[in-house]
Amino acid sequence: MKPRILLVALLFASLIPTTASAAARVQVLTGSTPDTRIMPSNSFTVADSSQLTGIRINLPAPVCDATNSSVCDDLTLLNLQDGFDLRPRVTVPFTGPIDVTTVTGSDFYVTGPNGFTTPITQLVWDPNTNVLAGEPSDFLREATNYSVVVTSGIKDTSGRSVIACTGACSSTFTTETATPELAKLRASLDSGDAYGKAGITDRGATFVQSGVRDVFPAATVTEIERGDQVYADRTKPLSFSLVPNSAVTGVGYYAFGSFLVPRYQTYSDAVIPHVPTTQTPSPIGAQRVGFTLIVPAGTAPAGGWPVAIFGPGFTRSKYDLFLAADLNATKGIATMATDPAGHSFGPASVTVVHQGAITTTFSGFGQGADLDGDGDITASEGVGPTDHKTVDANGNVIADTPSRYATVGLRDGLIQTAVNVMTMVRLVEHGIDLLGDGTVTLQKHVLAYYGQSFGAIYGTMVMATDTHLSVGVLNVGGGPIVEIARLSGFRNLLSDQLRVSRPTLLNGGPGLNGFTESMPLRLDPAVTNPYPGATTIQKYFDHADWQERAGDPVAFAPLIRLRPPAGAPIKHVIWQSAFGDHTVPNPTAGELYRAGRVFDLVSYYRNDKTPTAGSDPHGFLLDPRLFGRDQGQAQVLAFISSGGATVIDPDGPGPIWEVPVVNLRNLDCTHYPQPQTGIAYTASAGEC
């Protein structure tokens, strides 16, 4: 070709657009707002010497009005935290679409001190916003600096590496403190400061009401009845029901006492007033709470009967003790229980003990209240903040507004309950004289704690924090609370919260209870087409988890073994979980065990291999209708009576109990249809 012709040809070719070269490469955004940069990031914090971490969250808030008040309330509460969540929702915005199949743990991860690295898992890609989200596989340490790392190993949809700054983008963030608040409250009990500020001068147990002693020889008791105040209007009748009682063998006395606890929760919203994390909350006063007590028959050993404390579940009460202590008295162990905070209906509730034709009625010390204003008091209304209803003269709800503390959830109720249990521990150490004459006494030491469901949730907090306890059995617990609710039968409670939120967060779709969150579990593939509105719900749930860590057993689990508090005794703790638990789902139990690295301490009840396999096994420790009840209680008794030295396999070489759990992946799936899809889980028929 002649030179002139070649020059013309080259010039012409240069004018023809090439699609591949014209398209800009996808890159990670590095903007100045939370939506345009990797999050979490210390860019959205301010220095604060009143916080243990030295910083405080400072997220920007929108212009607030009645239409978005819940968003503003949420951000107001988050901006009180002294760091980011301990398992945060990590988000990375891109300028265009990526190939999610190229995202691996070596290209999207979190790094920390001493070479710590954990991949980001449970991925969600939102094609509408080009945002990749996920969570660190490992639970992070409190008050620690970490970095999110995104590398150019991630490819866009045309197979090209994304631009991740100069090969990699990172975002540094500091995690919050979660467990010190309860530790400070425990220390305040031990110093006596909590009692003094609450105005408590009598730290003993009271067994007398209106001159009548609430202690009854077991042989004379024919029935125990409860009368619950279920209406705010005290002129309306109580709701009466019999208390099931299977704790009859070897029992000498049933007692119904009370004691004073420092009250930290407000009565109007059931929250603990916020203080910076270097400070200790002060009680707002004292509250008298009730307890049940079962004492063995016969002559007590020198020093009194050994004592175990039982922790009841959510919506349950101290009356569950009569189903949770069948074997204890025969082993010479006294057992006692108090209500979770805000439980057991209204304060006008009563207990009625029948001794043949003789009946004795006394206060049931209900802690509930009509917080939402609808005229009713439910079994747990008082444990945490609720929405606020307006009713007409006929009792119909005509308006419903969200609580400004909605994302606090059950955090403060769990903290208060843990304080109540620790106060009970010190009550026992103070000395309990059942009859007031020195003839029937309890040892001034708590042998062990064991709790079921909610009792295992706040029980994990207690066992991790209290330096006076060393032995515990925690049955069917898990966390965080939001995860429990969204995957279980409590999903309706979340639905109510999302419905009343401003703006409402109910988005319909295939999920049950009117919302679809499109949140994968650990064994699920990445979600690449989340349902409309799902990512907003994901963010809301993430913020709730973040806010609730001070009352989250997952945050406390590492203190049992990995990082025990200074001065704490060696803890001897085991956990019990049930295959396919519908109430505290297996993935939430697995979350707790993974955070504490305690899988070797987990006994797994294979409900799927029992004659009652079709039932929700959650209540197997208490419910006489479920196959594993006697076996579960036998393991509890063997462990607590041996001081934590003996862990039995309740069915020996049989298939019903795995001691410890064999397939850890079984604690990563639900074993039943997922509520957010209604579609059977991949491994729902058996092993995960």
pLDDT digits (tens, 9 = 90+) for 556-606: 999 999 999 888 899 999 999 999 999 999 999 999 999 999 999 999 999
pLDDT of the residue at 210: 85
Do 321 and 445 reside in the same domain of the chain? yes
**Per-residue pLDDT at 21 exceeds 50:** no
- Is 148 contained in some domain? yes
Do 218 and 289 reside in the same domain of the chain? yes
The backbone torsions φ and ψ at residue 499, rounded to the nearest 5 degrees and listed phi first, read -65, -45
Plot region of 315 (φ>0 → left; ψ -120 to 50 → alpha; else → beta): left
Q: Return all residues near 402 (Cβ < 8 A) that are at least 6 apart.
A: 69, 70, 73, 387, 388, 497, 500, 501, 502
pLDDT of the residue at 267: 97
Do 492 and 418 reside in the same domain of the chain? no
Contact 107, 151 (CB under 8 A): yes
Q: Convert the pLDDT of each residue in 228-283 to its tens digit.
A: 999 999 999 999 999 999 999 999 999 999 999 999 999 999 999 999 999 999 99
Apex 256 CA angle, 252 and 259, nearest 5: 125
pLDDT of the residue at 688: 84
Do 435 and 499 reside in the same domain of the chain? no
Contact 650, 634 (CB under 8 A): yes
Bridge partners (DSSP) of residue 216 are 254
- Is 303 contained in some domain? yes
pLDDT of the residue at 16: 42
Please say which residue of 123, 158, 174 terminates a domain. 174
Contact 420, 412 (CB under 8 A): no
Question: Within 10 Å of residue 549's Cβ, how many Cβ atoms?
Answer: 25
Whole-number average pLDDT of the chain: 94
Contact 258, 203 (CB under 8 A): no
Do 422 and 493 reside in the same domain of the chain? no
pLDDT level of residue 520 (50, 70, 90 thresholds):
very high
Structure tokens belonging to residue 123: 């991925």
Residue 62 belongs to a domain with what CATH number?
2.60.40.1220
CA distances from 335 to 352, 397, 451 (A): 20, 43, 12
Residue percentage of the chain with pLDDT more than 70: 95
pLDDT of the residue at 163: 94
CA gap 44, 171 in Å, rounded: 11
Residues in the chain: 688
Do 320 and 448 reside in the same domain of the chain? yes
Please say which residue of 154, 174, 194 terminates a domain. 174
pLDDT of the residue at 19: 44
**Per-residue pLDDT at 183 exceeds 70:** yes
**Per-residue pLDDT at 14 exceeds 50:** no
pLDDT of the residue at 9: 40
**Per-residue pLDDT at 35 exceeds 60:** yes
Helix residue ranges per DSSP H, 517-603: 534-548, 553-556, 558-561, 586-596
Do 460 and 491 reside in the same domain of the chain? no
pLDDT of the residue at 379: 97
Output 656 or 22, whichever has higher pLDDT.
656
Q: Return all residues near 438 (Cβ < 8 A) that are at least 6 apart.
A: none
Structure tokens belonging to residue 557: 């689990």
- Is 79 contained in some domain? yes
Q: What average pLDDT does range 114-132 have in this prediction?
A: 98
CA gap 61, 446 in Å, rounded: 48
- Is 192 contained in some domain? no
pLDDT of the residue at 12: 37
> What residue numbers bound the domain in which 597 lies?
481-667
With CA atoms as reference, report the closest residue to 650 among 612, 686, 620. Answer: 620
Q: Integer distance in angstroms from the first to the last C-alpha of the chain?
A: 69
**Per-residue pLDDT at 679 exceeds 90:** no
pLDDT of the residue at 168: 78
**Per-residue pLDDT at 98 exceeds 70:** yes
Do 81 and 217 reside in the same domain of the chain? no
- Is 475 contained in some domain? no
* Element containing residue 495 per DSSP (H, E): helix 491-500
pLDDT level of residue 682 (50, 70, 90 thresholds):
low
With CA atoms as reference, report the closest residue to 460 among 512, 518, 417. Answer: 417
**Per-residue pLDDT at 425 exceeds 80:** yes
Tally of structural domains, the chain = 3
Do 462 and 486 reside in the same domain of the chain? no
With CA atoms as reference, report the closest residue to 230 among 378, 372, 436. Answer: 378
pLDDT level of residue 13 (50, 70, 90 thresholds):
very low
Bridge partners (DSSP) of residue 253 are 217, 295
DSSP string, 124-141: EEETTTTEEEEEESSPPP
Instruction: Determine the longest span between alpha carbons in the chain, in angstroms.
Output: 123
pLDDT of the residue at 10: 34
pLDDT level of residue 394 (50, 70, 90 thresholds):
confident
pLDDT of the residue at 681: 59
CA gap 50, 44 in Å, rounded: 17
- Is 472 contained in some domain? no
Structure tokens belonging to residue 106: 């070596």
Q: Return all residues near 279 (Cβ < 8 A) that are at least 6 apart.
A: 50
pLDDT of the residue at 680: 62
Structure tokens belonging to residue 578: 């049930």
pLDDT level of residue 169 (50, 70, 90 thresholds):
confident
- Is 314 contained in some domain? yes
Residue percentage of the chain with pLDDT more than 90: 91
- Is 17 contained in some domain? no
CA gap 233, 148 in Å, rounded: 54
**Per-residue pLDDT at 138 exceeds 70:** yes
**Per-residue pLDDT at 546 exceeds 70:** yes
CA gap 40, 481 in Å, rounded: 22
Do 459 and 504 reside in the same domain of the chain? no
Do 448 and 485 reside in the same domain of the chain? no
Do 661 and 587 reside in the same domain of the chain? yes
- Which SS3 state, helix, strand or coil, does residue 575 take? strand
**Per-residue pLDDT at 471 exceeds 70:** yes
415 Cα distance to chain centroid: 11
pLDDT of the residue at 566: 86
